[in-house]
Amino acid sequence: VLKEDIISYLENKKLSVNNDKKNKQLNNDEFEIITLKGYEKHMWKSMTKSISIPHFSYSDEIEVTKLIEFRNNVKDILKKEENISLSFLPFIIKALSKALEKYPRLNAWLDEDSQSLKIFKNHNVSIAMDTPNGLVVPNIKNVQNQSIVEISRELNRIQLLGEKSSFSIDDLSGGTISLSNIGIIGGTYTKPVIASPQIAIGAIGKIQKLPRFDDQGNLITANILTITWSADHRVLDGVTVAKFSNVMRHYMENPSHLLIL
Ligand code: CAO
């Protein structure tokens, strides 16, 4: 057999293998092409920008037994009298706002061009929301002036809009800090991605019954909710974020203080 024949045989074989592969790739029954649109396209753009931010991450455990009792005590009456569904989130949003009163620097937008922070007086809390059309982040405005019942009503309103994907521009713009309640789906810790130009976002895990020790060293059944903060490390340091998170934890662990302070 000539050397040329062997080379030609091998090349033909390679060609036919490649053609087989090509044909396989072109077999439309085996895959589906999804073209990104709407909210998904926006997520592509916003997350690509966000991921260039140097993220600082901070996590903590919050003991929410009192919060669960408090919420369960008023949940049914609120549904009956006002037709409002009260979850834990309105308490968490209010606790966040209380912490912002002490640490307003987290409630800001970063202008990269002028290297300046615009610190807002209003607490417009963006809520990451799972909708039939993907991730949307509407915000609840002026939380600092709203009661827990008012925040619940607003949360119920945006949930309804989310189901119909009919948010107004106003609902989707002007958020100053973000929260993501991924715990409703599951999981304990997640590291959220900052929604630029905001500089901080918190992610809440699932409430879990876990063994812990109380101050006297007794083993107790605790209800633990985790929170993880991502903050823009160019303009926020770890100590500020930790102190801010401690204030928020205090209000979540002592929900009655949300009503009197
Ligand atoms: N742990 C345990 N239970 C929780 C919980 C948590 N972290 N969060 C909510 N629940 C409970 C609520 O209390 C409620 O229970 P009841 O029936 O006893 O009242 C139930 O789960 C349903 O709550 P809800 O849907 O009304 O939730 P919410 O008000 O806490 O949250 C919203 C609203 C819009 C944030 C949520 O529905 C949602 O879309 N979450 C998804 C967040 C998301 O997509 N994150 C990803 C962002 S990054 O890609």
Active-site position among 214, 233, 250, 257? 233
Q: How many CB atoms lie within 10 A of CB 38?
A: 11
Is-contact 207 225, C-beta < 8 A? yes
Q: Give this complex's ipTM.
A: 0.92
Tokens of 169: 């521009």
Nearest CA, atom 18, ligand 1: 87
- Is-contact 204 182, C-beta < 8 A? yes
Can 123 be counted among the known catalytic residues?
no
Give me the pLDDT at residue 19, please. Answer: 63
Distance, in Å, from the CA atom of 27 to the CA atom of 137, rounded to the nearest integer, reads: 38
DSSP-derived secondary structure letter, 113: T
Structural domains present in the chain: 38-260 (3.30.559.10)
User: Hey, which of 40, 78, 171, 181 would you mutate to test ligand 1's pocket, going by the most ligand atoms within 8 Å of its Cβ?
Assistant: 181
Burial 60-70 (b: 16+ CB within 10 A, else e): ebbbbeebeeb
- Atom number of ligand 1 nearest to Cα 162: 34
Distance of alpha carbon 225 from alpha carbon 62, whole angstroms: 5
Ligand 1: which residue has its CA nearest to atom 14? 87
Say what the pLDDT of residue 259 is: 85
With vertex at residue 195, the alpha carbon angle to CA 206 and CA 48, rounded to the nearest 5 degrees, is 110
**Mutate-to-test residue for ligand 1 from 72, 159, 164, 184, highest number of ligand atoms within 8 A of CB:** 184
Rounded distance from Cα 152 to ligand 1 centre (Å): 12
- Angstrom CA distances, 174 to 16, 41, 109, stand at 58, 20, 10
| 237: annotated active-site residue | yes
- Which residue's C-alpha comes closest to atom 16 of ligand 1? 87
Specify the pLDDT at position 229.
98
E strand or H helix at 140, and its extent?
strand 139-140
Mean pLDDT per block of 10 residues along the chain (261 residues) reads 66 64 68 88 89 95 97 96 96 98 98 97 96 90 96 97 92 97 90 96 97 96 98 97 98 93 56
Q: Which of 111, 170, 214, 237 is catalytic?
A: 237
Separation between Cα atoms, residue 173 and residue 197, nearest integer Å? 11
